[in-house]
Structure formats: structure tokens, C-alpha cells
Structure 1
């Protein structure tokens, strides 16, 4: 956790925000950036305001401290701290160490420091009563409220550049340990009451573990484990000794503890620091009402008779503007609108559409989910507050219309090409997974609990290339994988063919309505003449046989042809196929005697000066409207990267 003093120094009295603030990870306010600059100047190379004899405790005379020092300090030359005499002391122990005094002077005399503290003090009254009640219930010092002041300026929506969130700046792991959960729907680290209760329990645990509030505050900032290692390294449990040692504590931690002590002094003595005429923000007074799962906040606001932006500001933990779809939840309603809400809610809630939660399966896209529940993808996107760049993956809980999910109509079993070889894995299930747009080899391996190397071995995939939507991967999944949470096909739901075999090519072309056969070249055959005879382009014949379109064919040479069955010579036709149509030769070709009899003289004297004059039937038959190739099957400079399935 880091020090997060995100307070709006220039902010006036708080108003309901038009939309919940969006904090980008790592983004700092101008006030916070300026404070960091000030702290650098104040503390990096500063001379001590108070010179201390080598004693285990530092401080001013006993009348100005919560703990009596063993020896009175000598005030450094040129420093006048007499103005501190008579200050009311907080209920946290305060030692008048150099950094504490410098902070007090910063909040008293610096224009920027005063502006910052004024903003904090104005905001402190918003949640002040709630924080005081929680700390009292846990028997914690009231001035621990200054942790929230120093961390966030009492703003429950703050996010630090290291992932700490909320008024008390919990990182995710520590928050979860103290009951603060988070997902795409809700982050209870931004719940003012829940996070304050968690902070009180966490600070109490740290104090019981270390025995002093200075060490507890240091651990809150730098982490329990890091502080414990430092204590053991230097063999001292005195915070002030650690703060003075080389590499004893992080610089940020030493000023953090001093800052909280200084804030506590200022909050106890607003008049002495010149804040007595400051107008405080009105306290946030709310009542709680339980509403069903999935309830949108705009409907709650309508029942309460308030603006939806005010409702969002009162419930900052609800990240998508509605109650999460899994469970009913209490929401905050202004106390002044509570009776109005209670009177109207039963009427308003009847107009809430029936919804239910749905857990996205591995391999499902938003269009799949929309189909299952009879709605449109755009409707789901709006209902769930899905952002443009947000990836919805397996395990995501979405709100969907109520009803039983439907399955797509049964289709012919897909024909899947698999590598040559047999794989035997006892205790595993052989399944076939159709890749989605957001998949990677790593994500698939992680879900199915297999190694990426196994996926490459079971399938012909390049680990450096992107998986394309619609590929099928064969996977041997261990029993520990819950296959009901993925979209997979079993062996009896697919037709398998070994990649590259005669069967593979024959069946694939039959599926495209063509016949694959091997043709023996005779005298006079050219690529052009055969293209005309069999209804192909020269580019297609060249591509099938992996040679150039300008290749000269030799009599006796065997080439592969894909042709419509009506153009196939009789000896290559399947039983019952229609008679072949007679195809007139091009003007530059001799007339063949019959389809089975090859041309006996003449040749193809046409020069192929243009490479973009014929259609590539290989692609046209299988992907109508594909704009990625020219008519001869070559890139035409106008290709699109859009997935041809996007319009399905």
C-alpha cells in the first residue's frame, strides 16, 4: 500500500457528482503531485528542527507530548516552536520529531499546505460520524480517522498507482483477508462502512501484533512482512530508531507516520491552525434498504425521487450502476428521501424486468450468450455496463433475461482435421474446443489444466501465431476439469479426418460440392486449357498443385483437379453422377474430341499479362464475399482483417 493523499485542494463544498469519478490506475491529482514535490523539499535534505541527545525517544518538553521523553531536547538554532505550546493532544501517541513539526508548519504556514488541509477538513464531516462510531465500537483511538485523511482525503473512490482502492486504500489481497470482495460488478473496498470496519479490524490486529501505534501505522503503509523483516534485521522494535537507520524504513513510510500524527494534531486544534471559520460539508446521512439482485440504481433513484447521479455517489462500490446479479443487496438512500422511497418502491419494483445471473462458459462469446437467452448483444452490453475494451471471459457473471437457456439447432457434425498419429491418455476425456476471438494458447491450456506443449503436440498450432476464431483444438482433459463450464464437443459429435490424407482432401471437396481427382496431362494441355475445361482459374490449378501459373505442363504429368461434378470426366465420376456438360473451347484452343480424350494438337498461345482476371474458386466456394484475395487468388491490396464470421 502507498500513501495516497488524493484530496482536491481547490475543491469547494461537495456536490453530488454527475457521474462516479473514474480513476485511472497510476493517475494522480494535481494536488497530490504538488504535495509529493513539497514532501521531497521538506524532508529529503532538511536539517532537524529539534536536536536530540542520543536517547531512545525524541520530543519536546513533556507538556507538549503524549509521552514523556527521558531528556529534554535542545531546539535547533533559528527554530521557534513556542507557538505549539498548549496544543490539545490527540488520542494517538505523538512525538514531536522533525517530520511531524515540519508537517505542522506546512499545514499552518504554506499556502498549498493550507489549501490541502482545508479540503480534507471540509470533507471530514461527510463520513465523520460513521467513522467515529465504527472506531468506538472496535475500541480504537478516534484519531485513527486521520489514516483515511492521509490515505484518500476521505474519498471512497480513490485508486492509487499500485492498485490500492477506497477511503482506506486497501490492496486487493489485504481487502479479501478482511472481507472486502471485488469483481466487475462491485468493489467493497469503495464501500464506506464496510471498508471502515475492515480498516478498524486491520489496524487493531497490527497494534496487537506490534504493540505500538507507530509500528502499526508503519505496517499499514509498508506491509506487515516488510516491517517484521526490518525489525529482525536491526534487532529493534523502536519505530523512531528504525526511522533513523540506513535502509531501516522506506522514506515514504517515515513521512506517512509523521503525516498522520500531524493531521491528528490539526484536527484537534483547528482554531490554532486558522481553520476555525472553515465551512464543513454536511454529513452524509442515509438509510439502508434491501433490493433484489440486478436492480438498477436509476430505478432506486426514481423511487426515492432523487437524481441517479446522487444515488451512484451514495453507493460508490456498485461499479456498473446496479446491484450485482447474484444476490440481493442493501443500498443507501438519503435519509431525507427514505419515507418517499419506502412508499413508492413496491410499485416501482414491479416494473423491473425479470433478470437472472449467468456464468459465461469457456469458449462463449457475447453473441453466443445473447442467442441462448433470446436477446441482442447490444442489449446485453447495455444491461451489464460492458465497456468498449472490456474482455468478457469464462467465469464472468452477466445479467441476462430470465428464462431457460436455449441451445443452437443441431447441425451436421463438424468435420475436424487432426494431426497424424494416435494419442492415448488414460483417465482423460478427448474433447474438441472451438476457439473464440479472445483465446490464446495459454488461456486454453490454463482452463483445461494441460501444458501448452501438449496442445501443440495434439494439434498443428504455431505458438507464436494468433489463434483464429473458429479453429478446433483436440484436447485430452483431465478428470479435474469441469467440462460443463466450457463449450466443447465430444468424439461422438464430430467427424474426424487425418490432416493431409487422400480421405481428407476427397471428403473436404465433396463437402464443397466438388470432385477431387488426379488428371494425367496429354500433349497440348496447358494450365489455361485445363482451367477452361474444368471451370477453374489458372491460379486455382497452380495453387492446388503448388506450382507457378506459368509452368509448362509435360505429357504424362499427373496433376490434381477440383471440379464441379458436371465437368468431371466419366471415369472420375461417382456412380449416379450427372453426365458432364460439353464445355466449348476458347477461341485459342483446338476442339477436343471428347472430354475423356485430350487435345491432340495446338497449344495455349495466350500471354498471361494480367494476374487479376479470374475468380479463385477454391475460396469462392467456401467463403462467399471474401474480399481478401484477387480473382486469381492473390492479395489484391484491398483485403480486410475483419473476421468473415462477424456477420453471423
Structure 2
């Protein structure tokens, strides 16, 4: 794979390292094995365009793009509950070298994922997890050498090369339920923060090469924050704020100790690092486990070329002899068949096509915006009407037509990124990969919008100055994950004073808070009766004897409670 800024070749082997403490690790492995036993198409350097297209069609659709990626350790254990095979036991027991970067502290989650991704049935046929892993390896072939080169140039441990297996199965088209996109699964806020453009024209989270550099920037920042790769990887999954709070609340800066001390981190994050460790272990022993080895010298001979803003990409792809599906397989970032109008953009082509692309770009018909149409304003037209008619956002139209005022007049000409001289459409063709990806993102955004609308309707808390999502969750006794999910929010979202939130179980949480305060002072409290309350229900809430509650308030068993009535409670 050749790029102007990266021309050196790759060495043959890749070793995933480990730190001191091998003997202790092996003892842990042996114990785990004992417990488990008792419980029991490659695009080559000279590939023609047809071969590139064939490889792209072999990639999964949106429906199965995340197959195996989201499995929990419990689901993995259930899917692969057979005893370990001799081959699996041998690999788990192997001393891998060993000068540790990410220490291999095996635990049951690690074993569950290892079994899930390597298991075969009694006939030697790959089970579900292994099928996913085989698919990931095939899909990753085109990217692994480049990613390894960037990782090593940045001085990061080789282990992070395999992070996209856990994130997306090395699929640039992957879209999570929350709307994270691409091989490295960036949310829009984080992607933009690390230099990726995400707008109507382009989504560089899907650019495998640019997103790799952004991911290295992010991982470097995380390691700088925590000084430990386990915590850096946990923060990549859960967010740096949540990991920082887990360190403060647990009193430990060791990932495994934090996990041992309780639920300071979400269960998903506590499983995330063992999953990556299991993937690294498998990569070290691919051939022993019956997988095809990784060819680190594999070079699909892809080159990058910058094109000016507003380039007609559909016409360019035809000019170099690629149909749109072939071009799109190499350039998943583009959301339109025209490049963004105000920036130079890299495109990726087979090396032998670069000269044809340069020849096309030198022609007059390749001038920027050649793929656009012009529209003559009629009486009664407005920006909103034109936007709706041509299905182009108003802000895009205004940007492309800066010389025009807010009020349009008949006879004025408006440039529309819709149809050009070659009858090219600006939106990705229906049924294309970009269209499918956009649909998946739209569905995720739609689910989020629906959740937010429901939360606004059910809202029971108004954000105050100085509030944060974490402080609100702690104050009301609900987990941060539950609060985020109930309001269609993510860690990157900010809240502001006056915003309305829905806090699930807020009434129960307030009762627990009041009860906790009362226990601290061992004093008598006053409880205001709510609709549906009974003496026995209130007594159960505060863990007191119902007979005592009746006596303290001069009531009898036949007394009727009324909403607003005050009840005295003496805590034991």
C-alpha cells in the first residue's frame, strides 16, 4: 500500500508483547484451565478493477456488519460452553515471548472470548464466533499493514493494531446502535475533535487511513492522561471522564483492581479489555488455531490523490475505468458523488489509475462544480422551497451561493448539487454502500431523537447551573448509563441550565436518599404521603415495623392515609 507520505515496506512478523510477571500469569492460566475443564479474498498488488470490485462485494452488508462485535462475555460463554480443545489449551498455556506492554492477566471473560472466537463443532466446522473472526481477518487484510506502520511510527504498542477487531470487525462501513461510525467507531463529536470532517458532504470517520491517524491521536492522549494502556483502552470504550471518576471512586489506578472493587466501570468496559487481550492472543497463534496467517507484506498498491473542492467524483471514476461501486469500496468516506466544495479531499485509487485521474482533472470539463446544475429563481421561490424541492439542506445551498441575499428574486441563478452535464447525482446512488451507511446512521439518529422526545415528555428534572450528567446521576441514585440511555444522550453531550431530563426511578431514588440521610443522623423524619401509599408500603420502604409506625402516629389498622398527610418515622 503506497501513499506519498508512507513509502517504506513492512517487516514480516508482528509480535504482541507482554510485561514482567510471566510465572504468575501462567499460574492464573493453569487455574482457569482447570476450572474450565471441570465445568465441562485478497486484493493483490496487481489486482485489476474487477478484482477490487469482487472483494468489495464480499464485505458484509449493514445487517451483519457488526456480527460478533457486540457479544458480551456471558453470551460468548453461552455460545461456546464446550470444554477447551487440546489446541486451545496449548495456546492459552503458551509463554509468548515475553516483554509485556499489555500484560496478559487472564480472567474468565478472557477465556470466554478466546473460546468464542476460536470454537469449532464436533465436525470441525467453525461456530458463530469463529466465523466472525475469519470474516474480520479477511476484511482486515487490506488495512493491517498500513495500520501497523502508523502505530509503529507513533511509538504505540502493537496491541492497538487489533483494536478495530473489537470495535467494528475492521469494517469501515460499521455503524453502532448509538451512531458511532467507521473502523475505529468514532462518535461525531470525538471525530471532529481529532480532525475528521463529518458533514453533509463527507464522513471521514469512514476513511480507514485518516481515521487511523485520528485514533492514534486519541489513544496517545488517553495514554498521556492515565499512563497505563489498560486504562487508556477502557477510556476509549467508556470515555476519559468515566475512567477518571472510576479511579477516584475506587482509590486505585489499576484497571483490574478497579474491576475487582466493584461496578465503578460499566460491565461492557470491564469486558472490553479482556476481549482485546483475547483477540491479541489469537492473533499470536493463528496457524496453531487453524486460521490463515496474516501477510504483513501484503500490498494492495493503493495510492492517494488530492482532488479540488466540488470535483465530480462519479465522472472521475468513469474516466479512470471504475464503476461507482468500485470507487466507493476504495473511498467509503464520501456521502455524495461530488467532493466537498470548500476543501481539497484525498481519494484512493489503484496506483495504475492515478495517471488517468490526473489527465481527467486537467481537462476543462473537470473544473470544480462541473457536476452541478443551475436553477433559475421563479416568482414565489424561497430558500426553503428550493431546499425542499431539491432535497438539499438550506445551509448547503446558502454556502454554495454566498453572493445571493436572504430574499431571492425572480431571474436569479442558484447552483444546485443535484444534476450536472453528465446527469450525475450528488447523493450516493440508491442501494450503494454509502446509501446503506447513511440509512443506518439515520436510523440510529432517529432512535436517539425518539428517545429524547419521550424523555422531554416524561421529564421530571430541570438542569440547574453547575449540574453535570454525572452529578445528577449520583444525586438521584441512578447509574450514568441509565441516565444517558433514558435521555438519548452520550458521554460527549453537554447539558445546560433549564434543560429538562427524565430520571428513571427518581421517586425511589429520592426515597433512598432521604432514608440514607435519616440513617446518618439517627433522627426522626417526616414523610409526606403520596397517592397509593399504605402503612405497610411505607414501613417496608424504611425497614421499620408497621405496628410501630401506627403507634408513632396514633393510627390503627383501619386508618386511611390521604395524599399530603405527614407521617412520623423513627429509624432503628
* TM-score of Structure 1 vs Structure 2, range by shorter chain: 0.5 to 0.7
Match in the other structure for 1:630: none
Q: Given the two structures, how large is their TM-score scaled by the length of structure 1? A: 0.47
Aligned length, in residue pairs: 345
Choose from 8, 13, 29 the match for 2:64.
29
Distance apart, 1:192 and its partner CA: 1.3
Q: Which residue of 2 aligns with 1:201?
A: 217
Match of 2:291 in 1: 275
Paired position in structure 2 for 1:157: 173
Determine the structure 2 residue equivalent to 1:365: 383
Label 1:397 to 1:320 Cα distance change in 2 as closer, same or farther (>3 A): farther
**How far is the alpha carbon of 1:148 from its aligned partner?**
1.0
Q: Which has the higher contact order (CA 8 A, sep 6+)?
A: 2
| Offset, 1:245 | 3.0
- CA contact under 8 A between 2:360 and 2:366: conserved in structure 1? no
Aligned to 1:126, the other structure's residue is in SS state: coil
> Which residue matches 2:530?
none
Number of the residue aligned with 1:41: 75
* CA-CA distance at 1:393 after TM superposition: 3.9
How far apart are residue 137 of structure 1 and its match?
Answer: 1.7
Higher strand share: 1
Distance, in Å, in 1 between the alignment partners of 2:143 and 2:87 is: 37
CA contact (8 A) 1:127 1:283 kept: no
- Report the alpha carbon displacement of residue 330 of structure 1 after superposing the two structures with TM: 2.4
Partner of 2:266: 250
1:349, distance to aligned residue in structure 2 (A): 4.1
1:73 match: none
Deviations 1:130-177 (A, max 9, x none): 111211121111220111111011111211111211110111121122
CA distance in 2, matches of 1:341, 1:41: 49
Taking only aligned residues, the RMSD between alpha carbons, in angstroms, comes to: 4.0
Structure 1, gaps ≥5 residues long = 1-10, 50-75, 370-376, 411-648
* Correspondence for 2:339: 323
Of 103, 109, 112, 2:119 maps to 109
Superposed counterparts of 1:65-464, under 5 Å: 81-86=89-94, 88=96, 92-110=102-120, 111-276=127-292, 283-347=299-363, 349-350=365-366, 354=370, 364-365=382-383, 367-368=385-386, 381=390, 386=391, 392-394=393-395, 407-409=408-410
Structure number with the higher helix fraction is 2
Displacement after TM superposition at 1:39 (Å): 3.4
Q: CA deviation at 1:102?
A: 2.4
CA-CA distance at 1:223 after TM superposition: 0.8
Q: Secondary structure at the match of 2:347?
A: strand
| Alpha-carbon distance change, 258 to 286 in structure 1, aligned in 2, over 3 angstroms | same
- Residue in 2 that maps onto 1:562: none
SS of 1:288's equivalent?
strand
**2-structure distance, mates of 1:327, 1:79:** 53
1:286 offset after TM fit, Å?
Answer: 2.0
Instruction: Sort the Cα spacing of 1:30 and 1:126 in 2 relative to 1 into closer, same or farther, 3 A.
Output: closer
C-alpha change, 1:351 and 1:195, in structure 2 (3 Å) is closer
Kindly provide the CA deviation profile for residues 38-58 of structure 1, in whole angstroms up to 9, marking residues without a partner as x: 7333469999x9xxxxxxxxx
The SS at the match of 1:131 is helix
- 2:178 counterpart SS class: coil
CA deviations on 1:198-240 (whole Å, 9 max, x unpaired) are 1111111111211111111111101111111111111111111
- SS for the counterpart of 1:306 is coil
Are the counterparts in 1 of residues 234 and 273 from structure 2 also a CA contact under 8 Å?
A: yes
Any unmatched runs of 5+ in structure 2? 1-40, 44-51, 121-126, 375-380, 412-572
**Does the 8 A contact of 1:12 with 1:119 survive in 2?**
no
Give runs of aligned pairs for residues 596-611 of structure 1, distance below 5 A.
none
Larger CA Rg, structure 1 vs 2: 1
Q: TM-score, normalised by structure 2?
A: 0.53
Cα contact 1:121–1:267 (8 A) shared by 2: no
Structure 1 188/79 Cα, relative in aligned 2: closer, same or farther at 3 Å?
A: closer
For the residue of structure 2 that corresponds to 1:332, the secondary structure is: strand
Aligned 8 A contact 2:69 2:168 in 1: no
Query: Partners in 2 of 1:39 and 1:285 — Cα distance?
Result: 38
